[in-house]
Structure formats: C-alpha cells, structure tokens
Amino acid sequence: MKIPARAKINLTLEVLGDRPDGYHDLHSVVMPVSVADSIVLEHSDSSAPSLSVTAADGAPVDLSKIGPPEKNLAVKAALVLAAETQHRPDVSISIEKRIPLGGGLGGGSADAAAVLVGLNALWNLGLTRLELATIGAFVGSDVPALALGGAVLMEGRGERVSPLFPPNFVSVPPIDLVLVNPGVFSSTPAVFKANRNTRLTNDARILDNIRQSLAAGDVEGVSRAMDNDLADAARTLYPEIGRAEDALKAAGAVGVLMSGSGATVFGLVRSPEHGREVVDRLAGSGFKTVLAHTCPVV
C-alpha cells in the first residue's frame, strides 16, 4: 500500500504558556500542504516494524539527520497503534522523503500520521480519523492534527484537534504557496525555550479572521491574519530565517510567515503563475524554493 504523507504549515501559532510537563499550551491553525513524503506499507513476517528511508530525487533532505529506527516517529506510530489495538506490528515501512528535516513542516509527524491512516486500512481496524488522532497524541505533538487531516485547529500540547470547517462545508479553495528553506536546521526545544512571546489566552479575532479569509479564498485576508509567536525567537537564534522572510517579501509574496518552530518560511501567492514569478526572482538568492498549495480538505 502506497500513501502520501503530507507536510503541514501553521497559519497561526499562539503560545499560551508553560505546562508542568515541559511542553507549552498552543492554539494553532494547521493546514496540510501538497509537499509530501511517499510511504509504502507492506505486511512482513517479522514481529517488529522494519524501516527504510531514502531521499526523493532532488529533495533537500539530509538523511544523516534522520535518527535511529527506534526513535523514528513512523515506527513509533506503528508500535503505538499495534499496542492500542492488540495487533502484531508486522509491517515494513519504506519512506521516500521529500519534506525537509528540521523545517517546521512536521515531516516526522506526517510520516507517523500516514502510518496510522495506512495501517488502519491494512489491518482493517475501522478506526475513525478522530480515533487515530487520539492515538497519534502518544506519538508526537503534531501527529493528531495530521492524522485528522484537512484544516485543523490544534490546542493544548497538540493533542486536542478539531476540524476548522464543518464536514459538509461547501468548499475551501486551496491557496498557492512558495516554501523557502533557509538552509538551517531549527531545534524545536531551543526555539520554545528562547521564546518570550507568550499569551494568557488566545486571541479570538485571530481565529475568526483566518477562518473567514480561508473560507473566502481571500489571500490578502489570510496574509493579514497569519501570526506565529515563535518567529521572533527563531529569527534571533537563526538569522537566516529573517533573511529568507525578507527575500520572499522582496520577491513579491503577498504574505510571509515562518511555519511551526522553523526554519521553513512560506509565502502566499495569488496563483501558480504568480508563484513561479516569485520562485524565478529568488533564483539568485541561494535559498531552495518549492511551489506548493494548501490542502484544506481530507
């Protein structure tokens, strides 16, 4: 079975403060994007999941940054799902990576979420997306949102997820994007530690504005509503992030934001043609760019 493991961007990310468990309470609108790893899941005769990881042709993926299999989130997802459902974790997992590592695009979490969705079918478990998201919370903070799929509001440590739009909502148009990889690996714990932008409570206007603008396909409105509390800390730790943001703005993107804890920066554009113009203008900048679009529905 072959399935895509979509990366995500955070269109908003509000940090609400420290938690006793060392994590932070968040309020974030998460959106899958068209950039994806490919995952092949096959039945194996072994009693433990096996893993192979390769880089897709031309993808900015440094395989030396991938940890050992026992720390891999895709393997962890298979083990957690097997334990929760009393199934043998007899699966071989092959991942072709396209999502950059340490990029704030949730690559490891995307693989884990895709393994949950894929094994649910392969093992005939019949779990709902919300049940998979609940199991995903034991794997990693971004896994529930990506297991639920589509545009999601993520709360708590990341374990509370809800669809941003009702199931039969007419249609939320995709938005074209240019992703820019500043070429630095951003450490999530380091960025959270350095962050000084915390709020007592989330700002309801941010959520209202982003939801309405997304529903209307209003690129300018989404650009005005986008916000990431972690961006200042990440820019201070990794100045390349600020340079990538400036380059993307100068190249004509409508709105620019860092995703998650960085380092990837994305720019909203009005059309694929506009995206190609922005990519062309960035050609001499030294930054790696990818044209993509949001995937608002599952």
Return the active site residues.
8, 142
Query: At closest approach, how far in Å is the CB of 57 from ligand C5P?
Result: 28
Query: At closest approach, how far in Å is the CB of 157 from ligand C5P?
Result: 4
- Closer residue to ligand C5P in complex, CB, 157/288: 157
Both tokens of residue 141? 């903070």
- Closer residue to ligand C5P in complex, CB, 32/140: 140
Residue carrying structure tokens 């009393």: 86
The closest alpha carbon to 155, from 201, 117, 111, 98, belongs to 201
Structural contact between residues 107 and 101, judged by C-beta atoms closer than 8 angstroms: yes
Query: At closest approach, how far in Å is the CB of 140 from ligand C5P?
Result: 4
Identity at 209, one-letter amino acid code: N
- Contacts within 8 Å (CB) and 24+ apart, 245-254: 247/180, 247/282, 247/285, 247/287, 248/178, 248/180, 248/278, 248/282, 250/281, 251/178, 251/277, 251/278, 251/281, 251/282, 251/285, 252/277, 252/278, 252/281, 253/178, 253/278, 254/219, 254/220, 254/223
Query: At closest approach, how far in Å is the CB of 32 from ligand C5P?
Result: 17
Q: Which of residues 122-141 bind ligand C5P (CB under 6 A)?
A: 140-141
Query: At closest approach, how far in Å is the CB of 212 from ligand C5P?
Result: 26
Among residues 6, 24, 98, 235, the one that binds ligand C5P under rule CB under 6 A = 24
Query: At closest approach, how far in Å is the CB of 8 from ligand C5P?
Result: 12
- Closer residue to ligand C5P in complex, CB, 154/292: 154
> Candidates 20-28, 79-87, 120-128, 273-281 — which segment interacts with ligand C5P by CB under 6 A?
20-28
Among residues 23, 138, 169, 185, the one that binds ligand C5P under rule CB under 6 A = 23
- Closer residue to ligand C5P in complex, CB, 138/169: 138
Among residues 158, 255, 262, 296, the one that binds ligand C5P under rule CB under 6 A = 158
Residue carrying structure tokens 């603008």: 213
> Candidates 23-31, 82-90, 166-174, 218-226 — which segment interacts with ligand C5P by CB under 6 A?
23-31
- Closer residue to ligand C5P in complex, CB, 165/192: 192
Binding mask 181-220 for ligand C5P (x = CB under 6 A): -------xx--x----------------------------
Q: How many whole angstroms separate alpha carbon 51 and alpha carbon 7?
A: 20
Both tokens of residue 81? 């799902």
From residue 142, give the alpha-carbon distance in Å to each of 59, 82, 211.
22, 20, 20
Give 186-241 as a DSSP string.
PPHHHHHHH-----SS--HHHHHHHHHHHHHT-HHHHHHH-EETTHHHHHHH-HHH
Q: How many whole angstroms separate alpha carbon 42 and alpha carbon 92?
A: 5
- Closer residue to ligand C5P in complex, CB, 23/185: 23
* Binding-site ranges for ligand C5P (CB under 6 A): 23-24, 26, 140-142, 157-158, 188-189, 192
